[in-house]
Amino acid sequence: MGDLKSFIPEGNISDKWTNHKFNMKLINPANKRKYKLIVVGTGLAGASAAATLGQLGYEVEAFTFHDSARRAHSIAAQGGINASKNYQNDGDSVFRLFYDTVKGGDFRSREANVHRLAEVSESIIDQCVAQGVPFARDYGGLLDNRSFGGAQVSRTFYAKGQTGQQLLLGAYSALNKEVAKGTVKLYSRKEMVDLVVIDGKARGIIVRDLETGAIEKYSAHAVIIATGGYGNVFFLSTNAMNSNATASWRAHKRGAYFGNPCFTQIHPTCLPVHGEGQSKLTLMSESLRNDGRIWVSKTKGDMRSPDQIPEEERDYYLERKYPSFGNLSPRDISSRSAKEVVDDGRGAQGQEAVYLDFKDAINRLGKHAIEEKYGNLFEIYETITGENPYKLPMKIYPAPHYTMGGLWVDYNLMSNLPGLFVLGEANFSDHGANRLGASALMQGLADGYFVIPYTIGNYLAEDKPELLPTDHEEFSKHEKEFDELVDKLMSINGKTTVDTFHKKLGRIMWNKVGMARNEKGLNEAIKEISELREEFWKDLKLVGTKDGVNQTLERAGRVVDYLELGELMAVDALDRNESCGAHFREEYQTGEGEAKRNDEDYTYVSAWEFKDLGRWELHKEDLDFEYVKLATRSYK
């Protein structure tokens, strides 16, 4: 029996959020300004939260390590954002979006959260349009939609291949409006390096100023973390270079439980690795799968140029294996299928890659139509690879992309530590074991615009936390501990650079805690990671000083955390003796190679409590599936 309570409201699934909103305590407008809130992160989740909370009258302090709030990783999202508007009259509804998301997550998400997400999805689109977000439109001047993996309706709103950019600039503009009014104070180039927990409650944060190196203390009635995902634990991922796990991980070490750390998504359509010097991987939006067909040669070791391989010698393996979803099968299935054909020796021209071909779509719709839909993606492809995708199929391969896991939160998005709220990719909540395309932007904005503004008020009204002064001895203690960590890093004086360690860790993670895992590999990974960690603390070479700009020191701090988090991911993957969604344990598969869930024993959220380095205690939150009946996913 699980011991974690998620505080899901009573009632029918479609009434829970409405009832909860009514039952929650309110804070009267004049009193809101007496409450100080810290928001860490100004991506979609953080910017939308800070803007809305500022507008409501709270005193908000927002932090980002970026030089500007406009640069958060959210800006890179390409494909689109889901909402159950049913503008296309193709049978979409709140319930269908809810259903698709629960099923897509392979029954490892919390039904009540997902339903709320689907409910508020429509308001998100209204909000963004009101802000002037230039979504794509049809000839009648109304909003256009496309479909995405894991869905049979067209519910994805988009702005060319730059949806994240336009949504983030919308949230950034809302934030600017509040900064101008003085309700939000924005701190850029400041990195949260610790969470201050006093008497079990979140009371503030410790920050390093990335320009001066100064360590600073900030106190608040509540702290909201919206710092994104931890995909960069793999070193090579589609995440931005500076995306990192530090805020979440340091909060974890102060007591916040980490939920489902092993649920990491490998995106099927990324550019293949070009060589050792590669710094990150580039995503090609999955929306391309609407019109592109994925294939490899039927023959092993086929080195012919793709245009020399005749139609009958091609294996459109997704269309073959999953006739009803075909190229739009969910991400986990598409990624694993690509790995299978490559492992079978049929990768594109002997590489770790498969073809994504637009020839048929160009013949059917014309080059102009394809250019209009995907023009900038085709350009990106050509700039990077030097090949023209209008002429030759693209080469793609799966890459680490998104982390469904994150800090554990209850229905109110509060962690187990009172006063610590977690939003966006940083929390674990809505996507279960696999996220559907175009649902992360939706979740980030849902959390920030429409959920936290309600639930935080209830916490403040009920709990009445007080504001502690930053000269409180615990603040100083936290500050000192961070300073000591920096000194320790600076004084190792070994021979190996930060990036070398990060790359080594990345390789262990990709090979043993990546797309397919097994007991032996996971045990090896746990051992190798802890050895690497020891080596890091003996042999790190860190140049420069702790004052002023020191990007190597910034990266070193992040790698310290990855070296611990990586181990927890393996521990979690080892604990979960089943395959579900993106978590594929080779021991648990059907005769046809599909993921085999074990609902009897694993219908729970794993929430790990940090005890000591390399030691965790597992807490469980039981999951109930009342409205979407537990069933084997089928995309055939």
Ligand X SMILES: Cc1cc2nc3c(=O)[nH]c(=O)nc-3n(C[C@H](O)[C@H](O)[C@H](O)COP(=O)(O)OP(=O)(O)OC[C@H]3O[C@@H](n4cnc5c(N)ncnc54)[C@H](O)[C@@H]3O)c2cc1C
Catalytic residue set? 331
Examine residue 280 and tell whether it contacts other proteins (CB under 8 A).
yes
Nearer to other proteins, 547 or 612 (CB): 547
Half-sphere exposure of 51 (CA within 13 A, CB side): 25
The answer to whether the CB of 231 falls within 8 A of the CB of 264 is yes
* Least spacing, CB of residue 229 vs other proteins, in Å: 14
CA-based nearest residue to 608, from 432, 426, 454, 407: 407
* Least spacing, CB of residue 321 vs other proteins, in Å: 31
Residues within window 126-165 making contact with ligand X, judged by CB under 6 A: 163-164
Q: Which residues contact 447 (CB under 8 A, 6 or more apart)?
A: 45, 48, 49, 226, 413, 423, 424, 427
Residues within window 442-501 making contact with other proteins, judged by CB under 8 A: 449-450, 453, 495-500
* Least spacing, CB of residue 157 vs ligand X, in Å: 10
Examine residue 242 and tell whether it contacts other proteins (CB under 8 A).
yes
Q: How far apart are CA 616 and CA 608, in angstroms?
A: 6
* Least spacing, CB of residue 186 vs other proteins, in Å: 8
What ranges in 464-545 are assigned the alpha helix state H?
Answer: 473-490, 498-512, 519-539
Q: Which of 239, 265, 337, 550 binds ligand X (CB under 6 A)?
A: 239
Q: Which of 9, 41, 149, 514 binds ligand X (CB under 6 A)?
A: 41
Q: Which of 13, 37, 51, 77 binds ligand X (CB under 6 A)?
A: 77
Q: Which of 8, 27, 76, 485 binds ligand X (CB under 6 A)?
A: 76
Q: How far apart are CA 378 and CA 310, in angstroms?
A: 24
Examine residue 439 and tell whether it contacts ligand X (CB under 6 A).
yes
Binding mask 562-601 for other proteins (x = CB under 8 A): ----------------------------------------
Q: How far apart are CA 254 and CA 420, in angstroms?
A: 11
Residues within window 414-443 making contact with other proteins, judged by CB under 8 A: none
The interface region with other proteins, picked from 118-126, 257-265, 354-362, 568-576 by CB under 8 A, is 118-126
Examine residue 277 and tell whether it contacts other proteins (CB under 8 A).
yes
Examine residue 428 and tell whether it contacts ligand X (CB under 6 A).
no
Q: Using CB distances below 5 to 8 A depending on partner kind, what does residue 301 bind out of other proteins, ligand X, none?
A: none
Q: Using CB distances below 5 to 8 A depending on partner kind, what does residue 497 bind out of other proteins, ligand X, none?
A: other proteins
The interface region with other proteins, picked from 96-104, 273-281, 325-333, 394-402 by CB under 8 A, is 273-281
Examine residue 425 and tell whether it contacts ligand X (CB under 6 A).
yes
The answer to whether the CB of 225 falls within 8 A of the CB of 426 is yes
Orientation angle between helical segments 551-575 and 519-539, nearest 10 degrees: 160
How many of the chain's residues bind other proteins (CB under 8 A)?
Answer: 82
Q: How far apart are CA 131 and CA 342, in angstroms?
A: 45
246: left (phi over 0), alpha (psi -120 to 50) or beta: alpha
How many of the chain's residues bind ligand X (CB under 6 A)?
Answer: 45
Residue 534 structure tokens: 């020891």
Q: Which of 238, 334, 415, 455 binds ligand X (CB under 6 A)?
A: 238
* Least spacing, CB of residue 622 vs other proteins, in Å: 34
* Least spacing, CB of residue 573 vs other proteins, in Å: 29
C-alpha 32: how far from chain center: 31
Q: How far apart are CA 303 and CA 353, in angstroms?
A: 12
Q: How far apart are CA 3 and CA 562, in angstroms?
A: 28
DSSP 8-state class, residue 546: S
Nearer to other proteins, 174 or 441 (CB): 174
Residue 547's identity, in one-letter code, is: D
Q: Which of 13, 39, 40, 233 binds ligand X (CB under 6 A)?
A: 40
The interface region with ligand X, picked from 70-78, 335-343, 412-420, 489-497 by CB under 6 A, is 70-78
The answer to whether the CB of 109 falls within 8 A of the CB of 8 is no
Residue 523 structure tokens: 């045990």
Buried b (16+ CB within 10 A) or exposed e, 443-466: bbbbbbbbbbbbbbbbbbeeeebe
Q: Which of 37, 38, 49, 72 binds ligand X (CB under 6 A)?
A: 72
Q: Pairing state of beta strands 184-187 and 59-63?
A: parallel
Q: Using CB distances below 5 to 8 A depending on partner kind, what does residue 51 bind out of ligand X, other proteins, none?
A: other proteins
Q: Using CB distances below 5 to 8 A depending on partner kind, what does residue 155 bind out of ligand X, other proteins, none?
A: none
3-class DSSP state for residue 559?
Answer: helix
Examine residue 29 and tell whether it contacts other proteins (CB under 8 A).
no
Query: Which H or E element spans position 39?
Result: strand 36-40
Q: Using CB distances below 5 to 8 A depending on partner kind, what does residue 198 bind out of other proteins, ligand X, none?
A: none
C-alpha 636: how far from chain center: 27
Residue 107's identity, in one-letter code, is: F
Q: Which of 142, 466, 473, 615 binds other proteins (CB under 8 A)?
A: 142
Residues within window 283-322 making contact with other proteins, judged by CB under 8 A: 283
By CB atoms closer than 10 A (0-12, 13-18, 19+), residue 242 is middle
Secondary structure of 204-268 as H, E, C letters: EEEEEECCCCCEEEEECCEEEECCCCCHHHHCCCCCCCCCCCHHHHHHHHCCCCEECCCCEEEEE
Examine residue 278 and tell whether it contacts other proteins (CB under 8 A).
yes
Examine residue 26 and tell whether it contacts other proteins (CB under 8 A).
no
Q: Which residues contact 578 (CB under 8 A, 6 or more apart)?
A: 585, 588, 596, 597, 598, 601, 602
The interface region with ligand X, picked from 34-42, 460-468, 547-555, 586-594 by CB under 6 A, is 34-42
* Least spacing, CB of residue 280 vs ligand X, in Å: 9
Examine residue 458 and tell whether it contacts ligand X (CB under 6 A).
no
Examine residue 89 and tell whether it contacts other proteins (CB under 8 A).
no
Phi, psi (degrees; rounded to nearest 5) at 280: -160, 170
The answer to whether the CB of 213 falls within 8 A of the CB of 546 is yes
Q: How far apart are CA 264 and CA 428, in angstroms?
A: 11
Nearer to other proteins, 242 or 299 (CB): 242
Examine residue 349 and tell whether it contacts other proteins (CB under 8 A).
no
Residues within window 163-182 making contact with other proteins, judged by CB under 8 A: 164-166, 169, 172-174, 176-177, 179-180
Residues within window 264-293 making contact with ligand X, judged by CB under 6 A: 283
Residues within window 382-411 making contact with ligand X, judged by CB under 6 A: 401-402
Nearer to other proteins, 1 or 142 (CB): 142
Q: How far apart are CA 15 and CA 18, in angstroms?
A: 5
CA-based nearest residue to 409, from 83, 97, 116, 612: 116
Examine residue 330 and tell whether it contacts ligand X (CB under 6 A).
no
Examine residue 392 and tell whether it contacts other proteins (CB under 8 A).
no
Nearer to other proteins, 73 or 633 (CB): 73
Task: Provide the binding-site residues for ligand X, judged by CB under 6 A.
Answer: 40-46, 63-66, 72-74, 76-81, 163-164, 191-192, 226-229, 238-239, 243-244, 246-247, 283, 401-402, 424-426, 438-441, 444
